[in-house]
Structure 1
């Protein structure tokens, strides 16, 4: 029989060995396969949701990544199972991955479900290269090549090298009024760095460097060094609310990636791009020390640093946490990452402490009250990298799965 890990509140040390396996018991669809989109706080799947490429790619990556960090075979088995649903139901014949299918894995009539978003393809690539590293027989190199070929040939503007938002924009071209987002570029940069780290093949590093140049050229505000969320259809700076939007979480995420690139490529110049991003968010984008959510990133600012959304999503906290954890060797400051993981457990994972269920809330108001009380499956990707970066930095240790005793054989 398998080892049963006792139910406990969210604890970073037991995240991989206990929390995630218990979450899988609730989030895996035992009837149709795959992963549900979200859980209510009572641990039940929210009815009526489609199944998406984003969730399946992120969860396949998350589980494979945790397996590589811990050696836990349960996580690898679940990663392979999640990938099989992704490959069998969400992948199209041309190598692209559609937005969603029905809960039972069937194509949907809604045209938006058939769109191949560049953002989603980045997470597919992230999942494929990581799972192939963890289990070479589970993912073929051909699948990885097809995903990249679809992205580079179908979703990339040949004139600029920038990514189209999706295959609809790629077919029609960007029109006045269309927004071009930094987010697909950032996550493709992440996936390409991961591909290089997983394979050692420098072609992936060269592709990552090209993606970094797109980010540098079009999405960094020269006035502050902060990352813009959106530019216009022509990739030029945009006036108005969309063009002014700056998200603290993405400043941290880009900064973490820039340092990761510098570490992998030995190119220290990239670190200088990260410094203004962190300076901007630390100056303008964190909840005050006098409040109940000290140091928690706000959801959005404008270009001058004024807070435009004083709520707090879960994921920006994890991006801040993984940045500070990864930079521990340089700064010697363990308090920021430790403080953020304490806030994560105390506020966002409070339902886990109260009920013993592996659930969380997604957003808090300025006073720390939940305003979005659902456990979105895709968020485990964010929490996982924070947890593993902290472990890599020596801030905590991931508890291994107990060795089976003779009675358990």
Structure 2
């Protein structure tokens, strides 16, 4: 990736500022968990309620930083930090019968005791990194216990899982299933266990049979919202998310590599996202309707991170040299735009831009670090020796 490599100095300079900030000032030492957001100037917003998914995502990012040998000077110090945060997360968010409550106050009181599938999927990923970094089998056992709770959300009639342990919550969503798929892939990669591969296989089949629409329009696309029996949600069933098209492209590339199976949907979603959901600058809209009509022409940073990952996955797995090179050029363009328009010299970011690139967000949410750091790792996975 020679063109992308030219951006490495800018990326490394940003990461060198960002990681100490988000894992330093972004950690509330009094509670042992991460704050929900920083100001764009880098000040922790300590009074905001804190979602469980933020804690899981920050642990994921810490695990990736350990693999990249970034942020903490010693491996032992890095492991201790991750384990200390994990202990605090279980204390603050842990629910009876396993799983995590979804929201707590800045002082640790539970504000929403619902156990949301989306949050559990990310905590599965956090546990995978904790196991990878520490080698402690307790995290492997915790993941199996968490999966046992997730099994209680299974829909035995229509397939898939309910989105939370609250009764009959609608609409049903593809998004938490996507991240559950991601969690199974991560565990299969880290552990090599057939059980996690089989779980990924099941979720891939759900993607094929419920989420991927190959018949309605001229291009195949990813459905988002559904009724209890997986019919389209009558209010918002035609709302499409370009970011998820790119995100699934990346995940399907990982699944193809891990399973050895042919994954014909990988290029389909990529081409649809390129055709319908991306503007002339290579940035993707937050939400569209079929045929590419803009529904929300704003542009979140996390979406652009998934665009970058989708380009890189397509370049890696397309099998066509010309298309692969074109995808890498698009990846370079998107990364340059992210560096130019979204990232700040403080190590923070502007979370959302308007159609014409005006800044719309006031704060930098902690949850975005996962998207951003994974995308930067995909673009420039090997550190340059100093």
Query: What TM-score, normalized to structure 2?
Result: 0.89
**Equivalent position to 1:323, from 287, 293, 310:** 310
Residues 210, 230 of structure 2: 8 Å contact kept: yes
Query: Which residue of the partner structure matches residue 57 of structure 2?
Result: 58
CA-CA distance at 1:79 after TM superposition: 2.7
Residues 28, 46 of structure 2: 8 Å contact kept: no
Query: Which residue of the partner structure matches residue 205 of structure 2?
Result: 213
Query: Which residue of the partner structure matches residue 188 of structure 2?
Result: 196
**Equivalent position to 1:230, from 204, 225, 233:** 225
Residues 219, 228 of structure 1: 8 Å contact kept: yes
- SS of the aligned residue for 1:369 comes to coil
Is residue 155 from structure 1 mapped to residue 153 from structure 2 by the alignment?
yes
CA-CA distance at 1:213 after TM superposition: 1.1
Is residue 19 from structure 1 mapped to residue 6 from structure 2 by the alignment?
no
Distance (whole Å) between structure 2 residues aligned to residue 116 and residue 286 of structure 1: 34
Counterparts of 1:238-277 in structure 2, within 5 Å, are 238-240=233-235, 242-268=236-262, 270=263, 272-277=264-269
> Aligned residue pairs: how many?
365
CA gap of 1:107–1:261, structure 2 versus 1, over 3 A, is same
Residues 363, 373 of structure 1: 8 Å contact kept: no
CA gap of 1:276–1:138, structure 2 versus 1, over 3 A, is same
Alpha-carbon RMSD across the aligned residues, in angstroms, is 2.1
Residues 219, 231 of structure 1: 8 Å contact kept: no
CA-CA distance at 1:15 after TM superposition: 4.8
- SS of the aligned residue for 1:307 comes to strand
CA-CA distance at 1:160 after TM superposition: 2.9
Query: Which residue of the partner structure matches residue 331 of structure 2?
Result: 337
The range that moved more, 140-149 or 65-74, is 65-74
Is residue 94 from structure 1 mapped to residue 89 from structure 2 by the alignment?
no
Distance (whole Å) between structure 2 residues aligned to residue 15 and residue 195 of structure 1: 29
Distance (whole Å) between structure 2 residues aligned to residue 66 and residue 139 of structure 1: 22
Distance (whole Å) between structure 2 residues aligned to residue 17 and residue 138 of structure 1: 31
Distance (whole Å) between structure 2 residues aligned to residue 214 and residue 391 of structure 1: 32
- SS of the aligned residue for 1:39 comes to strand
Distance (whole Å) between structure 2 residues aligned to residue 14 and residue 267 of structure 1: 39
Query: What TM-score, normalized to structure 1?
Result: 0.84
- SS of the aligned residue for 2:212 comes to coil
Counterparts of 1:16-165 in structure 2, within 5 Å, are 16-70=15-69, 72=72, 73=75, 75-108=78-111, 113-137=112-136, 139-152=138-151, 154-165=152-163
CA-CA distance at 1:399 after TM superposition: 4.9
